[in-house]
Amino acid sequence: MTDLPSLNSLRAFDVAGRRLSFRAAADELGVTQGAVAQHVRQLEADLGIVLFDRVPKGLALTSIGRSYHDRVARAFSDLRSATAQIKPEPGKVTISVTPTFASKWLIPNLPDFSDKHPDIDLRILATEKVSSFHSDGIDLAIRQGNPPFGAALNATLLFAQDVIAVSAPTLVEHAAVPVDATTLAQLPKIHDTHDLWPRVLADLDVVDQSKRGLRLSQTALAVDAAVSGQGVALVSRFLVSADIAAANLLDLGLDFQVDSLDFYLLTLRKRAPNPAIGTVVDWLTSQASE
Q: Is residue 240 part of a domain?
A: yes
What is residue 1's predicted lDDT score, i.e. its pLDDT?
53
Residues 231 and 269 in one domain: no
Q: Is residue 61 part of a domain?
A: yes
What is residue 145's predicted lDDT score, i.e. its pLDDT?
86
Residues 155 and 168 in one domain: no
- Starting at the edge strand that comes first in sequence, how are the strands of the sheet with 232-236 ordered? 213-215, 189-191, 232-236, 163-167, 250-251
Residues 65 and 183 in one domain: no
Counting residues of the chain whose pLDDT is more than 90, the rounded percentage is: 69
Residues 109 and 42 in one domain: no
Residues 203 and 177 in one domain: yes
Count structural domains, the chain.
3
Domain holding 181: CATH number? 3.40.190.10
The rounded mean pLDDT for the chain is: 90
Residues 209 and 69 in one domain: no
**pLDDT at 257 exceeding the cut of 80:** no
Mean of pLDDT values over 6-32? 93
Residues 171 and 247 in one domain: yes
Domain holding 54: CATH number? 1.10.10.10
Residues 96 and 79 in one domain: no
Residues 153 and 285 in one domain: yes
What is residue 74's predicted lDDT score, i.e. its pLDDT?
93
Q: Is residue 54 part of a domain?
A: yes
Q: Tens digit of pLDDT for each residue in 94-113?
A: 999 999 999 999 999 999 99
Are the C-beta atoms of residues 131 and 153 closer than 8 Å to each other? Answer: no
| pTM for the predicted model, two decimal places | 0.68
Counting residues of the chain whose pLDDT is more than 70, the rounded percentage is: 96
**Confidence band for 84, pLDDT divided at 50, 70 and 90:** confident
Mean of pLDDT values over 69-73? 95
3-state secondary structure the chain: CCCCCCHHHHHHHHHHHHHCCHHHHHHHHCCCHHHHHHHHHHHHHHHCCCCEEEECCEEEECHHHHHHHHHHHHHHHHHHHHHHHHCCCCCEEEEEECHHHHHHHHHHHHHHHHHHCCCCEEEEEECCCCCCCCCCCCCEEEEEECCCCCCCEEEEEEECCCEEEEECHHHHCCCCCCCCHHHHHHCCEEECCCCCHHHHHHHHCCCCCCCCEEECCCHHHHHHHHHCCCCEEEEEHHHHHHHHHCCCCEECCCCCCCCCCEEEEEEECCCCCCHHHHHHHHHHHHHHHC
Enclosing domain of residue 187: 163-251
Q: Tens digit of pLDDT for each residue in 181-190?
A: 999 999 999 9
Residues 167 and 246 in one domain: yes
> CA 280, 281, 286, 289 torsion: positive or negative?
positive
Q: Is residue 256 part of a domain?
A: no
Q: Is residue 134 part of a domain?
A: yes
Boundary of a domain, candidates 47, 67, 86: 86
Residues 21 and 151 in one domain: no
Q: Is residue 2 part of a domain?
A: no
Q: Tens digit of pLDDT for each residue in 202-221?
A: 988 999 999 888 999 999 99
**Confidence band for 272, pLDDT divided at 50, 70 and 90:** low
Would you call 116 exposed, middle or buried from its count of C-beta atoms within 10 A (0-12, 13-18, 19+)? Answer: exposed
**pLDDT at 125 exceeding the cut of 80:** yes
Boundary of a domain, candidates 53, 86, 119: 86
Boundary of a domain, candidates 23, 52, 86: 86
Residues 243 and 266 in one domain: no
